[in-house]
Structure 1
Amino acid sequence: MASISIRRTKPTDFPYLQAIEKAACEAFTTLGMKAIAEDPPPSLEELHMYHDADHAWVATSTTENLEHADIPIAYILVYVIDNVGLGAKSAFIHQVSVSPDFSRRGIGRALIGHVEQWARHNAILALDLTTFRDVPWNRPYYEKLGFKTVDEQALLRNEYVGLRRAILCEWDDKLLGRWPRVPMRKTVIN
Structure 2
Amino acid sequence: MDVRIRPMRDEDAPDLVRVSLAADTMFADAGVELPPDDPRTLLAHAERVLVAAGTDGRPCGLAATVTVDGLPHLEQIAVDPDHGRRGVGSALLAAVCAEAAARGHERLTLTTFRDLPWNGPWYLARGFAPLPRALWGPELARLWESEAPIRVRPRLVMARRTR
Q: What TM-score does the superposition give when structure 2 sets the normalisation length? A: 0.91
1:181 aligns with 2:158: no
Selected match of 1:124 from 98, 102, 105: 105
Contact 1:130/1:166, CA 8 A, preserved across alignment: no
**Identity over aligned pairs, percent:** 29
- Structure 1 residues 32-181: aligned runs within 5 Å: 32-33=31-32, 35-36=33-34, 39-43=36-40, 46-50=42-46, 53=47, 55-62=48-55, 69-81=56-68, 83=69, 89-151=70-132, 155-157=133-135, 160-170=137-147, 172-173=148-149, 176-181=150-155
The RMSD of aligned alpha carbons is 1.8
C-alpha separation in 2, matches of 1:99 and 1:41: 16
Q: What TM-score does the superposition give when structure 1 sets the normalisation length? A: 0.79
Greater relative contact order (Cα < 8 A, sep 6+): 2
C-alpha separation in 1, matches of 2:159 and 2:2: 30
C-alpha separation in 2, matches of 1:143 and 1:16: 29
User: Larger helix proportion, structure 1 or 2?
Assistant: 1
CA shift at 1:21, angstroms?
Answer: 1.1
CA shift at 1:40, angstroms?
Answer: 2.6
In structure 1, stretches of 5+ residues that fail to align are 63-68, 84-88
Contact 2:5/2:50, CA 8 A, preserved across alignment: yes
C-alpha separation in 2, matches of 1:183 and 1:110: 21
In structure 2, stretches of 5+ residues that fail to align are none
Which protein shows a greater Rg?
Answer: 1
> Which residue is equivalent to 2:15?
16
SS in 2 for 1:178: coil
Give the paired residue count: 163
